[in-house]
Amino acid sequence: MEKRPVDRKLLFLTVGLSLFGVLAITDASTPQALRYFSDSFYFVKSQIVSLVIGLISLIIFSKIDFRIWKKFSVVFLVVILVMLIVVLIPGFGIKSLGARRWINLGLVSFQPSEFVKLFFAVYVSSLVGAKKSLLSFLIPTVIVAFLVVLQPDMGTALVILGIASSAIFIEGINLFKLISLSLVASVVGLATVLISDYRRERLMSFLNSSNDPLTGSYHVKQILLGLGLGGFFGTGLGQSRQKFLFLPESATDSVFVVIAEELGFLGAVTVILLLGLLVYRIFKIALGSPDRFAASFTTCVGIWIGLQSFLNIGSMVVLVPLTGIPLPFFSFGGTSLIALLTSIGIVLNISKNQGG
């Protein structure tokens, strides 16, 4: 089959979202950077380094035949399990805000759960079309999701379940399998709430705010205040008041609120539309994929980005409880950005092998 050029629309959307994200972090992180590091550009400099690394990774992976990753799927599963166990070990895993999600390597640290999404998408996609049993999907899904819950990280656990559901869907809709995975999702969600006081408080805050937003937690109140201040057109770029240490995690979990405050409803809708277009483009590539592994992996990446965006933005508008999951391309976090750009690189390689 004669190869096509990479999907330029997906490439332009990816680069555009990444640059938009750097701009948002530059704006949203300044007060925190000055207070904690005496350098207003501390966070954005780190994000730019991650962006450069991520774009290099995107270019490299877009040139490597996607089929090779299927051969290493079991290796990826082993790497996933090792990383998720190591992060739970005191001394290796860094504990912050009641969760242990980072591995300390001395000079640098990284969040393994971000690469877990990528590696797990490869693994479950390798099972598609191989006539594997239901347990072949469920056992690794349960183990990986459970280890993520132990951190605890409910948002990522839900994304893992979404990725597994995508692979099962591509394999062929089977009601029993989908019901089984739904039960797994329910158990994972319940376990996350029960083992963590922090999660229970967030859930109760969400339930309270669903009746009266002003009775919610401090975080929820500041989120809603920021959204309200933005109005339709926003307060203007750089004019956010909430980012001045009123809004928790303004450069990470809550960066969408800063965007909505400064650029208003129009800016918020623009972010949602751009992310939606990216996911649509990925799904379109999946429809023309040359084989079922490629179709499954591409769909998994689309679900990963789409579901994660929904969980983040949904929590910002009090549709779902706060999960602490980052907004793809916009939240500060080098590991997340590099993993995303690497996965897009693989999708771009698949786009070069599309049929028809």
pLDDT digits (tens, 9 = 90+) for 262-294: 999 999 999 999 999 999 999 999 999 989 999
Q: Tell me what the mean pLDDT of segment 10-15 comes to.
A: 97
Least confident among 14-18, 71-75, 156-160, 210-214: 210-214
Q: What is the largest CA-CA distance in the chain?
A: 60
Q: Using one digit for the tens of pLDDT, what is the confidence trace for 109-118?
A: 788 899 999 9
Whether residue 209 has pLDDT greater than 70: no
Distance CA 36, CA 284 (A): 44
Mean pLDDT of 303-321: 92
Q: For the residues 196-215, what does the mean pLDDT come to?
A: 57
Question: What integer pLDDT is reported at residue 185 of this predicted model?
Answer: 66
The contacts of residue 183 (CB under 8 Å, 6+ apart) are none
Mean of pLDDT over the chain: 86
The pLDDT of residue 206 is: 57
pLDDT, residue 202, reads 59
Which residue matches tokens 């400064």?
A: 262
Higher pLDDT, 10 or 152: 10
| CA separation for the pair 93, 100 (Å, rounded) | 6
Q: Which sequence spans correspond to the domains of the chain?
A: 8-351
Whole-number Å distance between alpha carbons of 249 and 255: 8
47-56, 104-113, 291-300, range with the lowest pLDDT? 104-113
- Residue of higher predicted confidence among 297 and 96: 297
Closest CA to 10 of 270, 286, 259: 286
What does the pLDDT look like over 35-51, one tens digit per residue?
A: 888 889 999 999 999 99
Count of positions (residues) in the chain: 356
C-beta of residue 267 within 8 angstroms of C-beta of residue 236? no
171-180 — which CB contacts under 8 Å span 24+ positions?
171/127, 171/128, 171/129, 171/292, 171/296, 174/134, 176/134, 177/134, 177/137, 180/134, 180/138
DSSP structural state of residue 90: B
Q: 244-270 b/e with 16+ CB inside 10 Å = b?
A: eeebbbbbbbbbbbbbbbbbbeebbee
Residue 213 has pLDDT above 60, yes or no: no
Lowest-pLDDT range, 41-55, 137-151, 208-222? 208-222
The alpha helices in the chain, defined as continuous H runs, are: 8-28, 30-37, 42-63, 67-71, 73-86, 112-127, 134-149, 154-171, 175-195, 197-211, 218-230, 255-287, 292-316, 334-351
Is the pLDDT at 189 greater than 70, yes or no?
no
Checking if the pLDDT of 230 tops 60, the result is yes
- Across 38-42, 52-56, 90-94, 314-318, the highest mean pLDDT is recorded for 52-56
pLDDT digit string, tens, across residues 233-269: 889 888 888 888 788 888 888 999 999 999 999 999 9
Higher-confidence position of 33 and 195? 33
Task: Give mean pLDDT, residues 138-150.
Answer: 89
| C-beta separation of 319 from 307 below 8 A | no
The pLDDT assigned to 226 comes to 80
Query: Containing H/E element for 93?
Result: strand 93-96
Confidence of residue 191 (pLDDT cuts 50, 70, 90): low
